[in-house]
Structure 1
Amino acid sequence: MTSDRLAATRSGQGDLAGSRLRAASRRLILDQLGGVDALAQSELARRTGLSRTTVASVISELAAEGRVQRLEGVPAGRGRPPQLLQLRPQQGVAAALDLGHSHLSIALTDLSGTILAERRAALNVGASATVAIDFATDMLTALLDELPTRQRPDDLRSIVIGVPGPIDGHTGALRSGTILPGWVGMQPADEFAARLGRPVVLDNDANLGAIGELRYGRARGIRNLLYVKVSTGIGAGMVLEGKLYRGTRGTAGEIGHVQVSEDGALCRCGSRGCLETQASAEAALGVLSAAHGRAVTMDEALEIVRAGDPGAVRLFTDMGTAIGRVVAAVSANLDPELVVVGGPLVDDPGPLLDGFTAAVHRYTQPYVSSNLKVAGGVLGERAGLLGAIAMAVQAASAD
């Protein structure tokens, strides 16, 4: 190869690498602006890890394309107010669906993340995948049809769906047939896409809960987060350096199936003594129902605890302690800035959170514990739905 050809080849490779870096920088910035009201340029640089020069250059490019607009911030004392950056609202709709074990929630937003419509319905999701997917499709279609004429169903740009189970990152199938037995062998994203005629992104509900708290809740501005969801099961969503960590096959965070007792109760996964058998909502309702001689609902369980029933308070405290011990081990390995625990049974303040916080700090190494913050989630049962909204807005805005 002649020196001229070699130089040209190297130049071409450099141009390709530069264009890829530029595209990656654009995506990072659009991801951070998607689903938030507005950010200062300095905060955008901090969250993305990009230099201020790169951020300024990319923002100028996006502003020229009409994708980003500049706003004047509120003055904080003397001097000029900070300039804020915001995605310019575009024509289009993003859809977010949250499938729980016993409910379906759907929200439609514009591409700035403003909710246009939201609906929730009771649904036995685990009984039959076909029934659940058909029901969700019909509900989404009906909600789209109710939108004003300026936002029609044809404007649907992205769909993100959360499900209560681990998803194989290679096949798209649910990894556990015991969590949603009616979904065994299914590839839900493909099934939804076939019915809706559009690509669908599927993710675990704890992952989406982490994104929800990161974008709209307790963890805003945090780059290393451990989010723990306590519901029918127990799962964790992990954000490392601003990105979701899913593991090799998409099953990272299944802390509910860490064995905490060798001779404990049989778990639905087939093992004995899993954390879920001691500390999940299902376990708590079983204990309270036996104590009260009748079936106790989730709402009733919270009322009993809030009324100060000694046995219920002790039960919830012990649940928090059990979860906290497992999370302490995870925290020692991941070294997060913040641990957020959320779900329908978590009050702030409340005994479950108290037991959890004490255990995390007690059983985590002192050098980790001294800088580790623990807090209750602020989004409640909407954390997963709001995370799906943030992810759907990001996907639509990045098109």
Structure 2
Amino acid sequence: MPASPHPVSRGARNPGSQTALRELNQQRIIDALLGGGPSTQAELARQTGLSTATVSNIIKNMAHSGIVATEPTTSSGRRALLVRLISNGAVAVGIDFGRRHLRIVIVTLGHVVVDEVYVELPPGHRAEEGIDRATELLAGMLERHAIAPSSVLGVGVGIPGPIDQRTNTVVQGAILPEWEGIHLPDLEKRLHFPVVFDNDANLGALAEVTWGPHNSVENLAFVKVGSGIGAGLILNGRPYYGSIGITGEIGHETIVDNGLVCHCGNRGCLETVASTSVMMQLLSRGGAATVTTADIVQNALGGDPATLRVLDDSGVAIGRALASIANLINPQVIVIGGPLAGLGEILLEPVQRGLRRHAVPSVGAATTIVMSALGDRAEVLGAASLVLQPSGLRQN
């Protein structure tokens, strides 16, 4: 993966010279823009540790050289200058594989979405079927926009399940058991591009600090509520992966002692009481047709009592699990994402109630819980952002 659209030749300069220092500082700014998207000069100063005057001078030179574009904006009520990388035709691709869907985006280095495609997939589809469908759709998207394959920096892939970073394989507990044992680097052979990958909740967290309104938040948890429930963590400004890469599996926290058996093998996991699959099952009983997640959102917004009751029970259970995260790592913000993000306060209120009931009072009061402004696109945008991260922040 190229580190930036304008690679710097570091070996040709005297490492102690002023020219080398300027080039190093410029590279730090480029890496910050690649990883964090368009940013103000003040934000770039915080991210890089450079002085605002240094950043301002470098940005002027980069704009003159055609590396970045700038535009006026406001930040915290003050006038500021927004800086965006000029892509020069290079793009990154994000692919989000779900239990029932496939979503693909193509984005520029300046974090502008060029194209986006969403298709439904049959539940229980084989991994190979989903990958082949993604390959077909991506080829059509590139052709439609006359994007040469050589312009694609790489493909970021989101998987709804735990990934063992030691072996780069999907392990037991994935909401898509058909993906278990898949060696993810082999995706390069099928997609025909360099591939980086991660758990979908981790990518949701990355999207929130890249595409969302939380790019200045150092400690954040993103919780995807879907067919599975998982959390992605940003700690001290960096994605957190633990010792083997499997973190944030709150969907398998025991909520009900001696409850239903979960697909992971344990009983009473959060996913057995609060996943969208369970909600759909509960609300489909006695009905002529199966309730979908879209139906849940529509019926809840319409005030359907049964739907509201199921969401309230689920939200409280999710909040109880989030209290464990809040007590352990004390995040500044917890973002709720996934296909139910459009419910807003209907889901947010019981989640907040559950967290404050079970968290240490001071921690619960200091933890902000919000619904994702990115909706169900967070994971795929995070997958594209993964391609643009400096290599030192990527795990594969």
TM-score (norm 1): 0.84
Q: How many angstroms apart in 1 are the aligned matches of 2:131 and 2:120?
A: 14
Unaligned 5+ residue runs, structure 1? 1-14
CA contact (8 A) 1:226 1:338 kept: yes
Q: How many angstroms apart in 2 are the aligned matches of 1:310 and 1:82?
A: 47
Query: Paired residue for 2:332?
Result: 337
**1:258-297 → structure 2 map (5 Å cutoff):** 258-290=253-285, 292=287, 294-297=289-292
* Identity level (%): 37
Q: How many angstroms apart in 2 are the aligned matches of 1:74 and 1:372?
A: 26
Query: Paired residue for 1:182?
Result: 178
Q: What amino acid is aligned across from residue 385 of structure 1 in structure 2? A: V
Alpha-carbon deviations, 1:298-349, whole Å to 9, x = none? 2222233223232321211111111101101111111111111122124443
Cα separation, partners in 2 of 1:31 and 1:286, compared to 1, 3 Å = farther
CA contact (8 A) 1:90 1:112 kept: no
> Does 2:238 align with 1:243?
yes
Question: 97-106 or 39-48, which moves further after superposition?
Answer: 39-48
Cα separation, partners in 2 of 1:49 and 1:206, compared to 1, 3 Å = farther
Cα separation, partners in 2 of 1:245 and 1:125, compared to 1, 3 Å = farther
Residue aligned with 1:292, SS:
coil
Cα separation, partners in 2 of 1:108 and 1:287, compared to 1, 3 Å = same
**1:32-47 → structure 2 map (5 Å cutoff):** 32-34=32-34, 38-47=38-47
Cα separation, partners in 2 of 1:325 and 1:270, compared to 1, 3 Å = same
CA contact (8 A) 2:204 2:224 kept: yes
Alpha-carbon deviations, 1:360-386, whole Å to 9, x = none? 223221222232211111221111112
CA contact (8 A) 2:334 2:370 kept: yes
Select the structure of larger CA radius of gyration.
Answer: 1
Cα separation, partners in 2 of 1:93 and 1:221, compared to 1, 3 Å = same
Query: Paired residue for 2:6?
Result: none
CA contact (8 A) 1:35 1:113 kept: no
Q: How many angstroms apart in 1 are the aligned matches of 2:38 and 2:88?
A: 15
Residue aligned with 1:117, SS:
strand
Residue aligned with 1:392, SS:
helix
Cα separation, partners in 2 of 1:202 and 1:76, compared to 1, 3 Å = closer
> Does 2:253 align with 1:255?
no
Q: How many angstroms apart in 1 are the aligned matches of 2:74 and 2:275?
A: 44
Q: What amino acid is aligned across from residue 114 of structure 1 in structure 2? A: V
Q: How many angstroms apart in 2 are the aligned matches of 1:258 and 1:65?
A: 52
Query: Paired residue for 1:234?
Result: 229
Query: Paired residue for 2:135?
Result: 137
CA contact (8 A) 1:127 1:181 kept: no
TM-score (norm 2): 0.84
Give, in angstroms, the shift of residue 267 of structure 1.
Answer: 0.3
Unaligned 5+ residue runs, structure 2? 1-14
> Does 2:387 align with 1:392?
yes
Give, in angstroms, the shift of residue 388 of structure 1.
Answer: 1.8
Alpha-carbon deviations, 1:254-312, whole Å to 9, x = none? 10001112210010111100000000001111111125364222222223322323232
CA contact (8 A) 1:346 1:353 kept: no
**1:1-399 → structure 2 map (5 Å cutoff):** 29-34=29-34, 38-49=38-49, 52=52, 55=55, 66-73=66-73, 82-124=80-122, 126-148=124-146, 151-176=147-172, 179-188=175-184, 190-290=185-285, 292=287, 294-394=289-389
Cα separation, partners in 2 of 1:47 and 1:317, compared to 1, 3 Å = farther
Residue aligned with 1:82, SS:
strand
Q: How many angstroms apart in 2 are the aligned matches of 1:69 and 1:178?
A: 42
Alpha-carbon deviations, 1:111-160, whole Å to 9, x = none? 22222222111123743122221221121112112223xx3222111211
Residue aligned with 1:165, SS:
coil
Query: Paired residue for 2:3?
Result: none
CA contact (8 A) 1:177 1:183 kept: no
Q: What amino acid is aligned across from residue 286 of structure 1 in structure 2? A: Q
Cα separation, partners in 2 of 1:49 and 1:329, compared to 1, 3 Å = farther
